Amino acid sequence: MSKRMTGNTFRRGKPSANKGTHPEQLQGKNHPMYGKKHSLEARKKMSLAHMGKHPTNEFKKGHVSWCKGLHVNLNPLGGFKKGHPAPATAFKKGVYAGDKHWNWKGGITSENHKLRTSAEYKLWRNAVYERDNYTCIWCGNRGCRLEADHIKPWCDYPALRFAIDNGRTLCKECHKKTDNYGKKLCQK
Ligand SMILES: [Zn+2]
């Protein structure tokens, strides 16, 4: 019995965990709640009163977010999202298109590109492969990366570009050894 009493007494005198967090004038006797206890009823009331002030409730009710308006024009470049033209649009508008482009080569590139990716070119290449049995005619390699080479240069003999007799099957390594390798762009 006496032991239990001692325990209770000790607990009652133990400083609360909150001690020190209040400003000095609100501690001890100066605290509004000194000597008082919230009843269960009072706690419920407080709880209900606070519920209406919950931030998530405010958002749900359609209140304006505190941060609304802060994101407007924070970006110094300004207004990309609002449909203002981005600097890169100059390319799309054609300012640097065609002969004004730094990499323009007088239309040769596109003409070559069209021809070399055309169905006709692919047919010619396949016909050459077929005739040579998909084998490099120089080293006899098969199954490696094959390329169809023009015996008479693509550039100098436009009429023979799709002549099967003017084609030969080479592996990539052998193709590199030809004089005309990499000179497909007719830079005249
Ligand atoms: Zn080869």
Average pLDDT over residues 169-185: 86
Is 55 a member of any domain? no
71 CA to centre of own chain: 22
Q: How far is the CA of 149 from the centre of ligand 1 (A)?
A: 11
Is 9 a member of any domain? no
pLDDT (0 to 100) of residue 152: 94
- Comparing 80 with 51, the larger pLDDT belongs to 51
pLDDT (0 to 100) of residue 116: 74
131 CA to centre of own chain: 47
Is 26 a member of any domain? no
pLDDT (0 to 100) of residue 41: 75
Burial (CB count within 10 angstroms: exposed 0-12, middle 13-18, buried 19+), residue 115: middle
- Comparing 42 with 54, the larger pLDDT belongs to 42
Half-sphere exposure of residue 47, counting CA atoms within 13 Å on the CB side? 7
Average pLDDT over residues 83-88: 51
- pLDDT value at 105 more than 50: yes
Is 131 a member of any domain? yes
- pLDDT value at 146 more than 80: yes
Q: How far is the CA of 135 from the centre of ligand 1 (A)?
A: 8
Q: How far is the CA of 161 from the centre of ligand 1 (A)?
A: 21
pLDDT (0 to 100) of residue 9: 44
pLDDT (0 to 100) of residue 30: 72
Name the residue range of residue 134's domain. Answer: 109-176
- pLDDT value at 74 more than 80: no
Q: How far is the CA of 169 from the centre of ligand 1 (A)?
A: 8
Is 30 a member of any domain? no
Is 102 a member of any domain? no
In terms of pTM, does the model score above 0.85?
no
Which secondary-structure segment (H or E) carries 122? helix 119-131
- Most confident by average pLDDT, 50-59, 63-72, 163-172: 163-172
Count of domains observed in the chain: 1
pLDDT (0 to 100) of residue 112: 74
Is 50 a member of any domain? no
Is 69 a member of any domain? no
- pLDDT value at 136 more than 90: yes
What span, in angstroms and rounded, lies between the C-alpha atoms of 139 and 146?
12
What span, in angstroms and rounded, lies between the C-alpha atoms of 153 and 149?
9
Q: How far is CA 91 from CA 71, 81, 87, 102, in A?
A: 29, 19, 9, 12
Q: How far is the CA of 110 from the centre of ligand 1 (A)?
A: 29
pLDDT (0 to 100) of residue 7: 44
Q: Lowest mean pLDDT of 7-11, 24-28, 120-124, name the range.
A: 7-11
